[in-house]
Amino acid sequence: MDEFMSESEQWELVKRWIRENAIWIVGGVVLGVLALAGWRFWLERVERLALEASGRYEQALDAFARGDLTRGYAIVDDLRRDHDTSPYASQADLLAARMHVDAREYDKAAERLTRVMRDSGDAELATIARGRLARVRLEQGRPDDALALLKDARAGAFAPQFDEIRGDALLARGDKAQALSAYRAARAGAADGIVDPGLLDLKIVAIEPAAASAPPAAATPPAKKVD
C-alpha cells in the first residue's frame, strides 16, 4: 500500500480487495477443510483395516492352536481375500503353510509360500517364504529346485540360514565337498541366532572325513526351473 494513504483509504482498499477475492478465499478454506477431513478419514480407514486384519490373524492363530485346521485355513483365506496387501495376509499364509508342512501337504504349503515370496510387499517376509519353500522342495525330493530358489537370492540377515539349506540340498545331491563348504559358511554366521550352531557342528563333523576324501564333483546340469 501507498505509505501516504490515510488510514481510512487503506482500509477501503483492503475491503475492496476482500470483496473481489472473497470467492477464492472461501474456496481455499473449504478445500483445506475437505483435504483435512479426507486425510483424517483415510488414516481412520487404514487403522480400522489394520485392526481388522490383526484380529483375523489372531483368530487364525487361535484356531490352529486348538487343532481346528479347517477353520484356521478358512480364516487365513478370508484374510487373504479381504486384506491382500496387508502384512498380516502374508504372515497368515506363512502360518498356514507351516500347518500344511506338519501334515505333509507339501504342495499346498508350496502354493502359499510361493504367493508370499512373489506378492508380499514386505521384503523380509518374502525372504522367509523363499527359504521355507526351498526346505519344502527338499522334503519333496527336489534339491535342484531348492538350489534354484537360493541362487542369487538376496538373503540379507538370513544368509546363514540360506547357506545351511544350500548345504542340505547339495548333500541330497551327493556333493559332500560343496555341502561342507556351505555348512561352514552357515556356521561362520551362526552368531546372530538365525541358525543352530550345534546342529551345524554335527552336520560338519558327519561329512568332514568323507568330503575330504571325495573326488572333485563332476559338472552337473543346470538346475531345473522352479514351478
Query: Would you say 188 and 200 are in contact if contact means Cβ atoms under 8 Å apart?
Result: no
**pLDDT of 217 strictly over 70:** no
Q: pLDDT tens digits, residue range 70-99? A: 999 999 999 999 888 888 999 999 999 999
- Report residue 10's pLDDT band, with 50, 70 and 90 as the boundaries: low
In whole angstroms, give the CA distance from residue 106 to residue 99. 10
**pLDDT of 227 strictly over 50:** no
Q: pLDDT tens digits, residue range 15-71? A: 666 666 666 666 666 566 556 656 564 555 556 656 787 888 899 999 999 999 999
- What is the widest separation between alpha-carbon atoms in the chain? 105
Q: What is the DSSP letter of 121?
A: S
Cα distances from 171 to residues 22, 102, 223, in angstroms, run 79, 23, 15
Between 36 and 158, whose confidence is greater? 158
User: Please, what is the average pLDDT of the chain?
Assistant: 81
Burial of 143 (0-12, 13-18, 19+ CB in 10 A): buried
In the prediction, which pLDDT does 166 show? 96
**Top-tier CATH class for 55-142:** mainly alpha
Place of cell 502384512: 87
- Report residue 193's pLDDT band, with 50, 70 and 90 as the boundaries: confident
Task: Specify the DSSP element, H or E, that contains 105.
Answer: none
In the prediction, which pLDDT does 46 show? 56
Q: pLDDT tens digits, residue range 120-150? A: 888 999 999 999 999 999 999 999 999 999 9
In the prediction, which pLDDT does 194 show? 82
**Contact partners, residue 131, CB within 8 Å, separation at least 6:** 150, 155, 158, 161, 162, 165
In whole angstroms, give the CA distance from residue 39 to residue 216. 64
- Angle subtended by helix axes 87-102 and 123-139, to nearest 10: 20
Question: Residue 39 is placed in which grid cell?
Answer: 486425510
Between 51 and 2, whose confidence is greater? 51
Cα distances from 43 to residues 23, 30, 50, 68, in angstroms, run 30, 20, 11, 35
48-52, 164-168, 221-225, range with the lowest pLDDT: 221-225
In whole angstroms, give the CA distance from residue 173 to residue 1. 88
Structural domain boundaries in the chain: 55-142, 155-216
Phi-psi region of 113 (alpha: psi -120 to 50; beta: other; left: phi over 0): alpha
**pLDDT of 223 strictly over 80:** no
In the prediction, which pLDDT does 208 show? 81
pTM of the model: 0.71
